């Protein structure tokens, strides 16, 4: 049973809930000591929310949720360099996820995998630019990590999208 008087109110409430959820997941992930021996590898729990927003609210609103989460997280418990890494990785991965979704050739999990891989490519690009040298030796590890994380994130988002569509 829907309690909202309009679709606009429903979208606004869902947007606020998803932004808050993404912020909380970013914070929780910062508390988890997760290391696989390679800098920059993490699960990316907040990307569950980005996928959910893309599938339930559309690309424009989902992009706004992504940017809000990145900026809030960086200023609250990050740094300027974390903001740069997250913005480049997030924008690149969002663009690829949006294109994959538009193609209708991928399910939520496939879109999540594409997002995880391209997020790591974006961050590797930033690291190479900031350090002034190519870091191509990290590429295979980051591609694998992005695919694994994208699979987990995509599976979680697929389950969450089913629930959110009923709200």
Q: Return the closest-CA partner of residue 92 out of 61, 140, 125, 60.
A: 125
- With 0-12 / 13-18 / 19 or more C-beta atoms within 10 angstroms meaning exposed / middle / buried, residue 165 is exposed
Distance CA 33, CA 118 (A): 23
Residue 155: per-residue pLDDT: 95
Q: Are 160 and 52 in contact (CB under 8 A)?
A: yes
Residue 82: per-residue pLDDT: 85
Overall pTM surpassing 0.85 (yes/no): yes
Residue 142: per-residue pLDDT: 87
Q: Are 48 and 149 in contact (CB under 8 A)?
A: no
Structure tokens at 61: 């609103």
The stretches in the chain having pLDDT less than 70 are 1-5, 33-41
6-53 residue pLDDT tens:
888 888 888 999 999 999 998 898 887 666 556 666 788 999 999 999
């Amino acid at each position: 049973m829907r309690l909202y008087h309009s679709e606009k109110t429903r979208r606004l409430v869902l947007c606020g809930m998803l932004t808050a959820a993404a912020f909380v997941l970013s914070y929780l992930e910062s508390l988890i000591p997760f290391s696989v021996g390679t800098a920059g590898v993490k699960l990316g729990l907040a990307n569950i929310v980005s996928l959910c927003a893309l599938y339930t609210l559309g690309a424009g609103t989902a992009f706004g949720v992504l940017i809000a989460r990145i900026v809030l997280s960086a200023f609250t418990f990050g740094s300027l360099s974390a903001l740069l890494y997250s913005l480049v990785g997030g924008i690149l991965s969002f663009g690829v996820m949006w294109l994959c979704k538009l193609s209708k050739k991928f399910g939520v999990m496939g879109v999540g995998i594409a997002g995880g891989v391209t997020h790591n490519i974006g961050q590797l690009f930033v690291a190479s630019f900031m350090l002034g040298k190519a870091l191509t030796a990290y590429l295979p590890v980051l591609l694998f990590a992005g695919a694994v994380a994208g699979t987990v994130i995509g599976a979680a988002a697929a389950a969450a999208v089913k629930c959110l569509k009923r709200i």
